[in-house]
Amino acid sequence: MAPIENIENIENRIEHQFDDAATASETLAALVATQLSEALQTRGIASLVVSGGKSPIPFFAALRVLPLDWSKVWITLADERWVEPASADSNERLLREHLLLDAAAAARFVPLKSAFTTAEAGLAASSAALAAIPQPFDVVVLGMGEDGHTASLFPGTSGLPAALLMDDPTALTAITPLTAPHQRISLRLPALLDSRCIHLPLSGASKLAVYQRALAENDPLQWPIAAVLHQAKVPVNVWLS
């Protein structure tokens, strides 16, 4: 028997608690597919922003086979390492290998990495590509590192304070992490919150502890995910397993 989902509404957050990550991924995929389907029925087009890393792979596998008019779904990334798409470190490669397959192969994917040498040089081209996607985004699926970063908004980086400013509509920023490899390009906080719904899947005791600290301390410079959790603009579904 599948574990029972426990749901708790807390202010602008909805916490979904599961006994295992596989069931959480399948349930999240079903809900995201429903939200995209509702967007297609309402507006004739839908947009999805996802994060990279190994954690979302089971979610991608569950989502890509679900029945949608994928040809009308736009997909992009919350952030990208400034590496070639063929690199093992590329989020674009991750999506092509795990999400843009089966039914989802028909989706309209917009990469963030361009041919420019650096992320700073490529910001204008990447911003123009991103602007083609219908916004507000219908669904944003984020991740969180054990340092509290989300997208590529890393604590301690020189560009973080500007990336969190809500009165600057600039969509993208270039980030050089202090403790992670590769320069990055990332959606800024205003772009992440220019959405109808945010999902944050978290698995394991260590990430639960970071999540709880980010909630308690509410310091986005120390725990950037706190800027997403402590806002009233967009509902946030937190998937805990």
What's 166's domain CATH number? Answer: 3.40.50.1360
- Is residue 2 situated within a structural domain? no
- Is residue 180 situated within a structural domain? yes
Q: What is the spatial distance between Cα 84 and Cα 93, in angstroms, rounded to a whole number?
A: 9
Give pLDDT, residue 169: 86
Amino acid (one-letter) located at 198: I
Give pLDDT, residue 180: 86
- Residues 6 or more apart whose CB falls under 8 angstroms from that of 60 comprise 50, 95, 98, 99
Q: Are strands 6-10 and 13-17 parallel, antiparallel or unpaired?
A: antiparallel
In which domain, by residue range, is 24 found?
A: 11-195+218-229
- Is residue 205 situated within a structural domain? no
- Is residue 212 situated within a structural domain? no
Amino acid (one-letter) located at 92: E
Give pLDDT, residue 151: 98
Instruction: Give the residue ranges of the chain where pLDDT is below 70.
Output: 1-10
Give pLDDT, residue 8: 62
Give pLDDT, residue 9: 65
Supply the pTM of this predicted model. 0.95
- Is residue 238 situated within a structural domain? no
Per DSSP, the residues of the chain read -PPPPEEEEETTEEEEE-S-HHHHHHHHHHHHHHHHHHHHHHHS-EEEEE--SSTTHHHHHHHTTS---GGGEEEEESEEESS-TTSTT-HHHHHHHHTSSGGGGGSEEE-S--SSSSHHHHHHHHHHHHHTS-SSBSEEE----TTS-BTTB-TT-TTHHHHT-TT----EEEE--SSSSS-EEEE-HHHHTSBS-EEEEE-SHHHHHHHHHHHHH--TTT-THHHHHS-SSS-EEEEE-
- Is residue 72 situated within a structural domain? yes
- Is residue 54 situated within a structural domain? yes
Q: How many domains does the chain have?
A: 1
> pLDDT tens, 131-187?
999 999 999 999 999 999 999 999 999 999 999 999 988 999 999 999 888 999 999
CA atoms within 13 A on the CB side of 167: 0
- Is residue 234 situated within a structural domain? no
